[in-house]
Amino acid sequence: MSYHEFWRQLAQVYDDGEAKALARMVYELRFGLTLSDIYLGKDTQLSADYQTELAEIAQRLLRHEPVQYVLGQADFYGRTLHVEPGVLIPRPETEELCRWIVKDEVLRTKHDAFSILDIGTGSGCIAITLAAELPQAEVTAWDISKEALHIASENASSNGVKVTFQQVDILNTHPSPLTFKWDLIVSNPPYICNMERATMEENVLNHEPHIALFVPDDDPLLFYRAIAQYGQEALKPGGWLYFEINPLYALPLGNMLSSMSYHNIETQNDQYDKQRMIRARK
């Protein structure tokens, strides 16, 4: 199968532009062939084993499996992370959340070590980015999933950063006697209500872990409330909460944080001009 045959096959279920983008990604990342190589006809010189693998990749993509799972990798903040169906695929919006934290001048100019907790780490994308970009930070990451923690730990190792990973369920966590532990708590928790499923893409619904996506329709702030309550005891005085959020619930989330005596509450829009991030100070 040539490159042109491959992308035409994908165009059965994707529009031409997306099919070509997927084809370029597969040929470059899996087989090391650039468009220049393809123009020289090297795509027709793949071995029989590679041709078999290419056919299998095509079938997975035709079933709307995300290309990041098919290839086993995703780019995030200039780094490559291993991903599998047990973890969410890192999104550009989450990069923006990391960038908001990293550009905080108080953190960037802080010479003493400070502590960061990432709750619901998944692939480890947030924790690894902050550990790399803020080398004076001591980063800990929690997740309920052993599978996610294994993947995140491998990603930290392959990217040369130190993160402490722990299996913790934030919905069943009580502050330890050691309070005032963290300078910053960050989370991209589940925030999509079940009623929003009808508007979601098939590749997300059928392949990404629902435990990391959905919250009950009658309690959309479930994880935010649990994390904010934990932060009341576990954040150091003046410490910060940073969240990725569902734009539909930005106002009630801000009101909830205010009612819990957090202040300096601020939201940020993402690249699509949607309220996607919020921070608050203890």
pLDDT in tens, 150-179: 999 999 999 999 999 999 999 987 766 556
What are 69's two structure tokens? Answer: 């799972």
Over residues 119-152, the pLDDT tens digits come to 999 999 999 999 999 999 999 999 999 999 999 9
Give residue for tokens 């100070």: 281
Per-residue pLDDT tens over the stretch 85-104: 989 999 999 999 999 999 98
- At 205 the pLDDT is 62
What pLDDT does residue 126 have? Answer: 98
Say if residue 198's pLDDT is above 70: no
Mean pLDDT of 16-21: 93
Residue 146: what are its φ and ψ, rounded to 5°? Answer: -65, -40
This prediction has a pTM of 0.91
At 216 the pLDDT is 72
Beta bridge partners of 122: none
pLDDT tens profile 45-81: 999 999 999 999 999 999 999 999 999 999 999 999 9
The C-alpha R_g of the chain, in whole angstroms, comes to: 21
Within 10 A of 266 (CB to CB), how many other CB atoms are there? 11
* Among candidate residues 8, 11, 50, the one with its CA nearest the CA of residue 33: 50
Q: Is 37 exposed, middle or buried (0-12, 13-18, 19+ CB in 10 A)?
A: middle
